[in-house]
Amino acid sequence: MFNMKYIVMLCLFLASFSCKEKTKKEEQSSKSILLERFAYQSKSTPIISVHRGGKSIAYYPENCLETIMFINDSIPAVYEIDIAKTKDNVLVLMHDNTLNRTSTGEGDITNYTYNELLQYNLEDDFGNETTFKIPLFKDVLLWAKTNNVILTIDIKKSVAVDQVVAMVEEVGAEDVSVIITYDMKQASAAYKASPNLLLSVSARNEEELDWLLHSEIPTENMIAFTGTRLSSEAFYKKLHDLGMTCMLGTLGNLDKQAEAKGDTLYQKWVDLGIDVIATDRPFAAAASLNIKK
C-alpha cells in the first residue's frame, strides 16, 4: 500500500512539473519573433522605416494601405502607421485628430462612425483627391501578416493601448507588429498589455536610457528610438552593447539636410551607429544605402 501511494504521488508530481514546463515553453514560444530579429547584430543591413506609411508621393496618401503596397513593391521596409478611433469605437489609420488635411472630409474623426467615413476619399500631401478610403487597422494588420511586412504602430492619445494590442492578437499579427511608445508611462502600459511584443522606446539621452534600464521591461523587448537629432557615436555603442537596435528619425531636418547636401549622409549616419532610418524619403534613403528587393 505504501509503495502504491508513493508511486501515485510521484506520478502526480511529475505530471504537475511537466505541465509547468509546458506552460513555460508555451509562454516563451508566444514571444514575437521580432524580439530576436531586432536584437542588435553588427554589420547587419540597415532598415528603412517609412514615416506615416509614406508621405509626399503624388496620388498616394499617408496612412493608406495602397501607399504601403506601392512602396513595398519597390523596396524592403517597415512602415510606421498611426491609429485613431471612430465614433463607434473602430480602429482606423489616421494621423490627425481631424479629417481636414488628409481627406475630403471635415471635422473630428471621433464625430464619425466608420461607415460614415466611407463617403470621403483620402488626399495626398499635395491636395490631390484619390479613390482610396481611410483603412481599417484590422485590414492593414491582415495584409501585413499575409505579406510578412512589419508595422510600427503609433497609438493616438484617444486610443487605449489595450485595444490596439487586442486587435494585434485577434488577427495573430504579433510577429509583424511593433508598438511605439514615447515615455516610460506609455512603455510600461504597453509592456503590461503584452509582454510578448516588441516596443519602440524613447532613448534619446542617458537619462531616458537609465529610466528604461531600471524599468520592468527587458532590453530584448526594446528598439531604442534615439530621436530626430544625432547623438554621439559612444551613445549608440552603449545601446549596441546592451543588445539594443538604434533607430534615428531623419524625418524633418535630417531628411532636408540629405536632400540639400547629398543622400550619402544616410550612409554616414549608419556608419555612426544607426540601424533603422525612420524617414519621409524612403526611396532616396534606400537607393543611397543600396537596399533593394
pLDDT digit string, tens, across residues 185-206: 999 999 999 999 999 999 999 9
Residues present in the chain in total: 293
CA 65 to CA 116: how far, in whole Å? 19
Residues 6+ apart with CB under 8 A from 270: 46, 277, 289
Question: What was the pLDDT predicted at 26?
Answer: 39
Beta strand segments in the chain, E: 47-50, 78-85, 91-93, 151-155, 177-180, 198-202, 222-225, 245-249, 276-279
Domains of the chain and any CATH numbers:
31-288 (3.20.20.190)
Say whether pLDDT at 125 is over 60: yes
Residues 6+ apart with CB under 8 A from 40: 239, 240, 243, 244, 245, 246, 275
Q: How many CB atoms lie within 10 A of CB 134?
A: 25
What are 2's three cell numbers? 505504501
Question: What was the pLDDT predicted at 102?
Answer: 98
Closest to 180 (Cα-Cα) out of 235, 135, 223 = 223
DSSP 293: -
CA 103 to CA 106: how far, in whole Å? 8
Q: In Å, what is the CA distance from 244 to each residue of 43, 286, 290? A: 14, 22, 24
DSSP 242: T
Closest to 277 (Cα-Cα) out of 228, 233, 209 = 228
pLDDT digit string, tens, across residues 41-91: 999 999 999 999 999 999 999 999 999 999 999 999 999 999 999 999 999
Residues 6+ apart with CB under 8 A from 96: 102, 109
Say whether pLDDT at 3 is over 80: no
pLDDT digit string, tens, across residues 29-48: 489 999 999 999 999 999 99
- Output the average pLDDT for the chain: 92
The DSSP bridge partners found for residue 124 are none
8 Å CB contact between 180 and 154 = yes
DSSP string, 173-206: -GGGEEEE-SSHHHHHHHHHH-TTSEEEEE--SH
DSSP 161: H
pLDDT digit string, tens, across residues 142-176: 999 999 999 999 999 989 999 999 999 999 999 99
Phi, psi dihedrals of residue 169, rounded to the nearest 5°: -70, -35
CA 140 to CA 150: how far, in whole Å? 11
Say whether pLDDT at 25 is over 70: no
CA 67 to CA 60: how far, in whole Å? 5
User: pTM to 2 decimals?
Assistant: 0.90
pLDDT digit string, tens, across residues 230-257: 999 999 999 999 999 999 999 999 999 9
CA 102 to CA 118: how far, in whole Å? 14
Phi, psi dihedrals of residue 92, rounded to the nearest 5°: -135, 170
